[in-house]
Amino acid sequence: TSSTRPQRLLRAVQRKATKGDPQSVISAIDYFCRNSEWAMNVGDEKGPILDSVVCEVSPATALELGTYCGYSSVRIARLLPVGTKLITLEFHPDYACIARQVIQHAGLEDKIFLVEGASGDLIPKMADMFGISTFDFVFLDHWKDRYLPDLKLLEECQLLRKGSVLLADNVICPGTPDYLEYVRNSPRYESRYFQSHLEYTKVEDGLEKSVFLG
């Protein structure tokens, strides 16, 4: 076929998920990825770890790096306190277009700002664009060699406060060795690994939760 994987994923959502029901959107995507085509969503095994960190932090300001089809955006936004918006960054226009439709199907378009562009360009603009002073929660799930430079950029732009929580996906597979080495050895972070598996597989992967100590 000439369609793309994100387009087929969207079609699965439109066919199987109930409009306005985020959980049914999540389930439809996981079903598609387990039974039809693998896709790079945080997925149904690491997803509950993400959920529990979001609930624990209960952020008033939240940032996601790497939207893809909007799976994790829906997961995060459905758990945010009333009034909190998730800002999610995606530089691939075709993925952003699919994600907007997935988010709309879940009925979460009022809780999610999807900004199209590269994280390195957009992070320094967060204060001006959104009036953000600091982020309570940041989910890192874009290209793996960008985790460390973007963390340093968040620090430089003073977008982290004492107690801000970073959650990084895929720290083992594909892996982010420079980022892990930084957050685990810097006295400015308290870091912990949550072991799991790469989405929809049995390959080891996990999430690293790092609290900024100021």
Indicate the helix (H) or strand (E) that contains 132: none
The reply to whether 30 sits near ligand SAM by the rule CB under 6 A is no
Residues 125-164 that bind Mg ion (CB under 5 A): 141
- Residue 144 annotated in active site: yes
Residue choice 169, 179, 200, 211 for contact with Mg ion (CB under 5 A): 169
- Tell me the CA distances in angstroms from 3 to 6, 8, 94, 100, one per residue in order: 8, 7, 12, 18
Binding test (CB under 6 A) with ligand SAM, winner from 141, 166, 176, 206? 141
* Distance separating alpha carbons of residues 213 and 183, to the nearest angstrom: 11
Q: Does 91 bind ligand SAM (CB under 6 A)?
A: yes
* 169 among known catalytic residues: yes
Residue 141 or 205: the one with the smaller Cβ distance to ligand SAM is 141
Residue 82: count of CB within 10 angstroms of its CB: 5
Do 168 and 89 form a contact (C-beta atoms < 8 A)? Answer: no
Which residue number, 57 or 63, has a Cβ lying nearer to ligand SAM?
63
32: burial class by Cβ within 10 Å (0-12, 13-18, 19+)? Answer: buried
- Please give the Cα distance from 100 to 106 (Å, whole number): 10
Q: Which of 100, 105, 146, 209 binds ligand SAM (CB under 6 A)?
A: 146
90 part of the active site: no
Catalytic residue at 85?
A: no
Q: Can residue 196 be called a binding residue for ligand SAM (CB under 6 A)?
A: no
Pairing of strands 61-65, 85-90: parallel
In the residue annotation, 19 being an active-site residue is answered as no
Number of shown-chain residues binding ligand SAM (CB under 6 A) = 18
Residues contributing to the site for ligand SAM (CB under 6 A):
40-42, 66, 68, 71-72, 89-92, 95, 118-119, 141-143, 146
